[in-house]
Amino acid sequence: MLQPILFALLLLAAFGLFAWQIQKIRANILVGRTRDMSGHLGERLNKTLLVAFGQQKMFKRITPALLHLVVYVGFLVINIEVVEIIIDGLFGTHRFLSFLGPVYDALMAVNEVLAALVIIAVAAFWWRRNRNPPVRRFTGPELRMWPKLDANIILYIEVALMIALFFMNSADIQLHQLEGKDLPGVFPVSYFLADLLPASNVGTLHMLERTGWWIHITGILLFLNYLPSSKHFHIIMAFPNVWYSRLVPQGQFSNVESITHEVKAMMDPSYEVPVPAVAADGSALAPTPFGAKDVEDLPWTALMNSYSCTECGRCTSVCPANLTGKLLSPRKIIMDTRDRVEEKYNSPLIFHPNVYGEEAKHQPITDLANATLLRGKVTPEELWACTTCNACVESCPVNINPLESIIEMRRFLVLEESAAPNSLNVMFSNIENNGAPWAFSPSDRLNWADDLYVAERATV
């Protein structure tokens, strides 16, 4: 009786803590600008099935795609066993789902094979991350400190969970053999491992089986509460993030609404500019800034992007600016956004950017209240290195759009601070004065035709 009560309390604490962390992250995402993402249900469902469930974009690189597929399918199938563990823990049953007969046999067999493959895949991931020289996309200043540690912690936890699973099954097999009973299920890996267990009496084996059981489920619940502090949170956020993907063509930029109204009014004097919204008490709302200086100026989808990033570096590895040695890394822009929103609003249970973040170690933030995403974390030099090629957007396996945040911050620099690079300022004045980006008067625009005419006459 004591075990179900203890287990129920553990479950309650773990899911309660997880819900509390999720609520904080939801609040962080909602500090972003509102954006209507309703409609297009069919298209969104299609994208979610292909990109999130089907891992479509992962298969552009076959080796990591196959390794990731093993871990992903393992995660899905092993979760079925977790359901059984929870039922057993709450109601004091043992292997509750065994009534499924042959289905249970198949389920347990697949489960064990996948668990073994997960250990192999995780070992390969660890080697790819930590080998010398490292894979290029796992390097970069943004991957020092916590992100590097986090990537390895996740791998260690995954291996520990699989070992606990084998330990539990092996002890159960030997226990049943000793008692002369049949253990429901087929366990292709644990049958071999059972012989390695040193114990040979029922009491010890029972204790070993329970130890494996408790380590496995407690580890899963700890892992659940570690997720919000980790890049591994993408296993949850990838699905809503892909659902709310941008559906317009990639090269299409959004317009600034207020400027659109102004231009329309200039072109058509009868155009009625919408009356600005007022606050509930009737007072005028503060004008929305042009572009983004801090996280509240970005749309909420951009903040959700930052919680969905796997820190895989596919975006940075195809970014022409990064490849040619510029400071820009689209992965860093996304990671900076998440760090900034957690620094300013709610941070999850374990990770806090001010304690573990890059700045905390190298460049402590002294003025938190006045720090902003732009300049506080992302420099204009990074932003102006972007060629707006969309390669990062195209390559992201979970449909994150780093370019949108880059454009928004550039807009702020240009429209609020007039802080564009000199070459752009020259172009802006040319457009204003000459109606074209070049430094020639509109009256000279057809000179080339005269020159051509003269040249042709000369050759006749």
Sole window of 171-179, 278-286, 306-314, 439-447 interacting with ligand SF4 (rule: CB under 6 A):
306-314
Nearer to ligand SF4, 56 or 434 (CB): 56
- Give the one residue of 228, 330, 353, 376 binding ligand SF4; rule: CB under 6 A: 330
Distances (CA, A) of 400 to 40, 311, 375, 379: 18, 11, 22, 20
Distance separating alpha carbons of residues 160 and 152, to the nearest angstrom: 12
Size of the site for ligand SF4 (CB under 6 A): 28
The tokens describing 417, both together, are: 């601070």
**Per CB under 6 A, 441 contacts ligand SF4:** no
Instruction: Decide whether 170 or 305 has the Cβ nearer to ligand SF4.
Output: 305
Measured between alpha carbons, how far is 390 from 406 in angstroms, rounded to an integer? 11
237 part of the interface to ligand SF4, by CB under 6 A: no
User: Taking contact as CB under 6 A, which single stretch among the options 150-158, 330-338, 345-353, 419-427 is the one that binds ligand SF4?
Assistant: 330-338
Give one DSSP letter per residue of 19-42, joined into a string: HHHHHHHHHHHTTSBP------HH
Q: Residue 308 or residue 347: which is nearer to ligand SF4 going by CB? A: 308
Do 333 and 378 touch, CB atoms closer than 8 A? yes
- Phi, psi of 33, deg, nearest 5: -65, 145
Phi, psi values for residue 299, rounded to 5°? -65, 155
Please, what is the minimum distance in Å from the beta carbon of residue 397 to ligand SF4? Answer: 6
Alpha-helix runs per DSSP H in 180-230? 190-194, 202-226
* Binding range to ligand SF4, per CB under 6 A, among 75-83, 269-277, 309-317, 370-378: 309-317
Q: Which residue of 67, 309, 378, 413 would you call a contact of ligand SF4, by CB under 6 A?
A: 309
Q: Of the candidates 112, 311, 358, 408, which one interacts with ligand SF4 according to CB under 6 A?
A: 311
C-alpha to C-alpha distance for 112 and 162, rounded to whole angstroms: 9
The region of 16-24, 196-204, 304-312, 435-443 touching ligand SF4 under the rule CB under 6 A is: 304-312
CB 366 within 8 A of CB 359: no
| Dihedral sign (CA 450, 454, 455, 460) | positive
- Nearer of residues 173 and 319 to ligand SF4, judged by Cβ: 319
Residue (366 or 423) nearer to ligand SF4, CB: 423
List the one residue from 70, 319, 373, 383 that touches ligand SF4 (CB under 6 A).
Answer: 319
Nearest approach in angstroms of CB 326 to ligand SF4 is 8
Question: Closer to ligand SF4 at the Cβ: 150 or 311?
Answer: 311
For the CB of residue 317, give the shortest distance to ligand SF4 in the complex, in Å: 8
Q: Does 238 bind ligand SF4 (CB under 6 A)?
A: no
| 67/124 Cα distance (integer angstroms) | 8
- Whether residue 426 contacts residue 78, with contact meaning beta carbons closer than 8 Å, is answered with no
From the list 216, 232, 293, 314, which residue makes contact with ligand SF4 (rule: CB under 6 A)? Answer: 314
User: Using CB under 6 A as the criterion, what x/- string covers residues 380-419 for binding ligand SF4?
Assistant: ------xxxxxxx--xx-x-x-xx--x-------------
Output the smallest distance, CB 341 to ligand SF4, in A.
15
Tally the residues of the chain: 460
Q: Please give the Cα distance from 427 to 423 (Å, whole number).
A: 6
C-alpha span between 290 and 271 (Å, rounded) = 22
Cα–Cα distance measured from residue 236 to residue 352, given in angstroms and rounded to the nearest whole number: 20
- 250/429 with CB nearer ligand SF4: 250
Q: Does 378 sit near ligand SF4 (CB under 6 A)?
A: no
Residue 438 makes CB contacts below 8 A (sequence gap 6+) with 430
| Residue 451 CB-half CA count within 13 A | 5
Binding footprint of ligand SF4 on the chain (CB under 6 A): 309-315, 319-321, 328, 330-331, 334, 386-392, 395-396, 398, 400, 402-403, 406
